[in-house]
Amino acid sequence: MGLEFRPLDFDEIQELVRWAAAEGWDPGINDEHIFYTCYPEAFYGYFQQGKLIGGGSLVSYNGDFGFMGFFIVHPHFRGNGIGHSLWFKRRDTLLSKLNPGAAIGIDGVLAMQTFYSNGGFVTAFRDERRVRMGEAFPVHSSIRKVHKGTEITEILKFDLNCFGVKREEFMKLWIANPSAVTFYMMNEREEVIGFAVIRKTSNGWKVGPLFANEFSSAEVLYTACLNEVPNEKVYLDIPCCNADAVKLAERYQTEYVFECARMYYGTPPELPMDKVFGITTFELG
């Protein structure tokens, strides 16, 4: 079909983001800047006669774990096998960047799950996007807010435990995002027991990640996020394998938006999913 497969520059990534926004994906205001700064070689696309027609992310986390997301083909080029070819190109390119035996994760929408299964991915659990309006809540005395200059070493350690692989540079930028607010909690030994990031989108706010040792900590962090943006839409992507995450979403009367399946190619990583109340992003894991 005369297609060229190659990495994307920042302007081309922004074009993918515009396509995604037009289809209601509602990425965060600064997501593409952070993605590209941390993983400039992680976005690939197909070009026809020099024109971008589709692309997506394929992030290697130090070769130990991979994640595929942001998969989109321009509407004018759908239905003719281009997406099929592009997806397998991306999968195989990412495999070439990973250590032997490293797994790849994706969050696949319902319509694509059979296709991903045919590509070697196996469903591990369901993710549901939930939404409700922000509302004034009392902020618990244990809640702290990250400000410029705040030491975040303990937050990064907690993130590593919940996410499973190092992503320190990404998380530093994710937390420092001027369109985001980060809350965290510590115990009497000054150890982080949970944190949450809420960031602005064009249609509201998204909470992610929301990691906590137990339900009570997750609840306090979630209500701090809701309190931060009263009368605005607040989205949370919950892993349904965590019964307490489902309980949290139900207790605060969130509404179902849509769902994905977390799927893995290769052996799934062993993660403390009981601490994951909201995933970071469908694009990078």
Is the domain of 211 the same as that of 168? Answer: yes
Residues 236 and 166 in one domain: yes
The whole-number average pLDDT for the span 172-177 is 97
CB 43 within 8 A of CB 16: yes
Is residue 118, in this structure, part of any structural domain at all? no
Cis peptide preceding 7, ω within 30 of 0: no
The answer as to whether 145 is a domain residue is yes
Integer-rounded Cα Rg, in Å, for the chain is: 19
The pTM assigned to this predicted structure is 0.95
78 pLDDT higher than 80: yes
124 part of a folded domain: no
Q: Which residues contact 3 (CB under 8 A, 6 or more apart)?
A: 46, 47, 48, 53, 82, 85
Q: Is residue 285 part of a domain?
A: no
The whole domain housing 185 covers: 129-278
Domain count for the chain: 2
Residue 139 and residue 99 share a domain: no
Task: Return the pLDDT at 155.
Answer: 97
Judged against a pLDDT cut of 90, whether residue 22 lies above it is answered with no
144 shares a domain with 273 = yes
User: What CATH number has the domain bearing residue 87?
Assistant: 3.40.630.30
Helix, strand and coil in the chain, % to nearest 5: 35, 35, 30
Q: Is the domain of 253 the same as that of 154?
A: yes
Asked whether 78 and 48 are in contact (CB, 8 A), the reply is: no
Question: CA separation (Å) from 53 to 130, 227, 284?
Answer: 31, 41, 21
Say whether pLDDT at 246 is over 90: yes
pLDDT given for residue 87 in this prediction: 94
Same domain, 82 and 138: no
Same domain, 32 and 135: no
Cα dihedral 164→128→72→197 (10° resolution): -50
**Residue 276 and residue 245 in contact, taking contact as beta carbons nearer than 8 Å:** yes
Q: What pLDDT does 56 receive?
A: 95
60 assigned to some structural domain: yes
Residues 2 and 49: their CA atoms lie apart, in Å, by 8
How many Cβ atoms are within 10 Å of 79's Cβ, its own excluded?
9
In which band, very low, low, confident or very high, does the pLDDT at 237 lie, cut at 50, 70 and 90?
A: very high
Give pLDDT tens digits for 37-68.
Answer: 999 999 999 999 999 999 999 999 999 999 99
Boundary-marking domain end, from 70, 105, 140: 105
Mean pLDDT over 127-138 rounds to 96
**Residue 277: closest CA among 217, 206, 218:** 218
- 7 and 41 in contact (C-beta within 8 Å)? yes
Burial grade of 193 (CB within 10 A; 0-12, 13-18, 19 or more): buried
The answer for residues whose C-beta is within 8 angstroms of residue 252's C-beta and 6 or more apart is 132, 222, 223, 226
Query: For the chain, what percent of residues have pLDDT higher than 70?
Result: 100
Give the amino acid at 107: D
Residues 8 and 67 in one domain: yes
Residues 177 and 55 in one domain: no
Question: Residue 1: pLDDT above 80?
Answer: no
Tens digits of residue pLDDT in 83-128: 999 999 999 999 999 999 999 999 998 888 999 999 999 999 999 9
Q: For residue range 182-197, what is the model confidence (pLDDT) as tens digits?
A: 999 999 888 999 999 9
CATH number for the domain that contains residue 148: 3.40.630.90
In angstroms, what CA-CA distances link 226 with 68, 126, 221? 30, 24, 9
Q: Are residues 135 and 273 in the same domain?
A: yes
User: What confidence score (pLDDT) does residue 165 get?
Assistant: 96
Which pLDDT score is estimated for 20? Answer: 87
pLDDT at residue 27 in the model: 86
**DSSP string spanning 148-187?**
TT---HHHHHHHHHHHSS--HHHHHHHHH-TTEEEEEEE-
